[in-house]
Amino acid sequence: MEPVPNVTRADAAQAVRNPLAFIAERWTPSPRTVQRAALAALVMAVLIVVTGGAVRLTGSGLGCPTWPKCTDDSLTTTSEMGVHGVIEFGNRMLTYVLCAAVGWAIIAARSQKPYRRSLTRLGWAQFWVVMGNAVLGGVVVLVGLNPYTVAAHFLLSTALIAVATVMWQRTREGDDAPRPLVGRPVQQMAWILVAVTVLLIAVGTVVTGAGPHAGDSSEVERIPLNWENVTKLHAVLAWIVVTLTFALWFVLRAVDAPKGPLHRTRDLFLVLLAQGAIGYVQYFTDLPEVLVGLHMFGSCLVWIATLRVLLALRERPEVVADLPAQSTQSSLTRA
């Protein structure tokens, strides 16, 4: 059993000044550990969206009527606030779990050898998005669930999922310059798919802001648009995304693209079909809360699958430090 190293006063001072560097000097995580840390951050980013949707769909959006405290006199929920207070406060507490997951991803990325600055920056980007969204969530409560702030809150969560997805992908790649696997026209087609998907998600927030699920039992302001017309626009955009996905898959087959992009595009197509089925069922059944929540979860999966298609169109091979091996072989040849 190895002895525990003594921590000197200089070590303690260094830990206070730069704790990440202090940990990195003493711990080297395996690549799988870094990948799992990045995946945990992504899973928590999706979970916070789903639980936020549960807050809204149960009418618990003002379960804690103020922020950062739950009430003017209490930091936590009280028994008088009932189940709505518990649901809202629970969602707030889950933000700390999200912060812990993001922090774990940052520590793992910073401690990896060799040090990868780009990967660590993606972790820090998630942290600052979480902080910004936490403040925006407080604003949402303080303005009484104004639908425009609610939409911004969701879109910022979508940005968090995007950064987390990119970081997760980068943990399985090297730091070499990206090499495209398909031609520029195919890449442009994928970027169009991403752009229309962003528009689809944005219009989805308008559907929510104009629809009947206000997030609280009291009178809450709604976006002054015809809900059914916006929903039809949302459906049209969804069909455009489906068509673009199928067209991209067909083009990738035609140009004999690698299996990676083909499989990612197929996965996106299947997720879109499932999401579309849920969307139509919830529309024709008067928006039951369970299906609306499932549709929000599906929205996260669609966004992740779309980004994975884009990221699959290039590769970043790992940089292999083979110079010592070459040098040894040359020495043996000369001998």
Q: What is the mean pLDDT of residues 165-191?
A: 93
Q: In Å, how far from its chain's centre is CA 257?
A: 27
Among the ranges given (8-17, 208-217, 315-324), the one the predictor scored with the smallest mean pLDDT: 315-324
Average per-residue pLDDT for the chain = 88
Among the ranges given (118-122, 176-180, 295-299, 327-331), the one the predictor scored with the smallest mean pLDDT: 327-331
> How far is residue 63's CA from residue 82's CA, in Å, rounded to a whole number?
8
Q: What is the pTM of this model?
A: 0.89
> How far is residue 80's CA from residue 182's CA, in Å, rounded to a whole number?
60
What percent of the chain shows pLDDT beyond 90? 67
What confidence category does residue 4 fall into, taking pLDDT thresholds of 50, 70 and 90? very low
Is the per-residue pLDDT at 278 higher than 50? yes
Q: Tell me the per-residue pLDDT of 208-262, one tens digit each, with 9 for 90 and over.
A: 999 888 888 778 899 999 999 999 999 999 999 999 999 999 999 999 999 999 9
> How far is residue 271's CA from residue 248's CA, in Å, rounded to a whole number?
15
Q: What is the pLDDT of residue 26?
A: 86
Q: What is the mean pLDDT of residues 279-299?
A: 92
Q: Tell me the per-residue pLDDT of 36-62, one tens digit each, with 9 for 90 and over.
A: 999 999 999 999 999 999 998 888 888
Is the per-residue pLDDT at 331 higher than 90? no
Sign for the CA dihedral angle at 98, 99, 102, 107 comes to negative
- The conformation of residue 314, written as its DSSP 8-state character, comes to E
End-to-end CA distance of the chain: 43
What confidence category does residue 177 fall into, taking pLDDT thresholds of 50, 70 and 90? confident
Tell me the angle at which helices 31-57 and 147-170 cross, rounded to the nearest 10 degrees: 160
Q: What is the pLDDT of residue 15?
A: 65
What confidence category does residue 109 fall into, taking pLDDT thresholds of 50, 70 and 90? very high
Contact 109, 34 (CB under 8 A): yes
Q: What is the pLDDT of residue 41?
A: 97
Is the per-residue pLDDT at 324 higher than 50? no
Q: Which residue has the tokens 């779990």?
A: 97
Q: What is the mean pLDDT of residues 190-207?
A: 97
